Structure 1
Amino acid sequence: MLQVATGDPRPIGRQIVDGVRLKIATGELAHGDQLPSVRGLAQQLMVNPNTVAKAYAELTTEGWLDARQGTGLFVAAPRQRLSDAERRRRLDDAVGRFVNDVVPLGLPPDEVQASVGLAFDQLAPRKTA
């Protein structure tokens, strides 16, 4: 389901949170899908169960997951989780970091834009007919 990388600068818990968010955003995990148990995912990723529990708690607090007593965690119904202003602020921050990382590479802007477009195409939500 998910993978974590020891060479990734993000903590393992952040990798889990980001991975689940991405799978939900792209449609790989749909509303109502059940996630592995804390213990099950911890064993699969070979990480501490507390790390998985904290990541799941964050996702539940943010509204990405629903906890159902006695049955587990499920993908929550789609809804806007952040205000328009907060979404815009996060976009501006991400674009600023991206530009600061990419400009020193000296690549032509059209090549950078094409790479970004390709990356978005690969992550586009998967719609079923």
Structure 2
Amino acid sequence: MRIIVSNSSSEPIYEQIASQIKGMIIKGELEEGDALPSIRGLAKDLQISVITTKRAYEELEKEGFIETMQGKGSFVAMQNKELMKEKKLKVIEEKLTEVVAESRLLGLEYKEVKEMLKILFEEE
């Protein structure tokens, strides 16, 4: 599992970790039952505090992405298919909201953005 943390990001490190793991689960790179690195192991790999890693795992557990079993570790939780679809749609909606805002700033019309999206969607 490859996680990259940036000290120059305005996002706290625990959120960077949690969002990257969430992304891997949503994309299917991590599947139900997959083991996550131990809190200590991940902290050592990323050269960060164990407390920071623990907080990231707690956030993921609170949101239902992982479950932790005392003495066994943390694993990707069973995902509700409908809920997972909603989470995927939310990711796309957030990105499209950014595109719409940027398009308005640049003075692009809906037709132009729609055409770009159509071309990009049809590319392989």
Common fold by TM > 0.5 = yes
> What is aligned with 1:27?
28
Name stretches of at least 5 consecutive residues in structure 1 with no aligned partner.
122-129
Residues 117 and 59 of structure 1, relative CA distance in 2, 3 Å threshold = farther
Residues 51 and 98 of structure 1, relative CA distance in 2, 3 Å threshold = farther
The residue correspondences of 1:39-118 to structure 2 (distance < 5 A) are 39-79=40-80, 80-81=82-83, 95-105=96-106, 108-109=112-113, 110-111=115-116, 113=117, 117=121
| Superposed CA RMSD | 3.2
User: Could you tell me whether the CA contact under 8 Å between 2:26 and 2:88 is conserved in 1?
Assistant: no
Highest relative contact order (Cα 8 Å, sep 6+), 1 or 2? 1
How big is the shift at 1:17?
Answer: 0.9
Report sequence identity in percent: 32
Q: Distance in 1 between matches of 2:89 and 2:27?
A: 20
SS in 2 for 1:74: strand
| Residues paired across the two proteins, number | 116
Q: Distance in 2 between matches of 1:73 and 1:49?
A: 14
**TM-score for the superposition, normalised by structure 1:** 0.70
How big is the shift at 1:25?
Answer: 0.8
**TM-score for the superposition, normalised by structure 2:** 0.73
Q: Distance in 2 between matches of 1:104 and 1:25?
A: 31
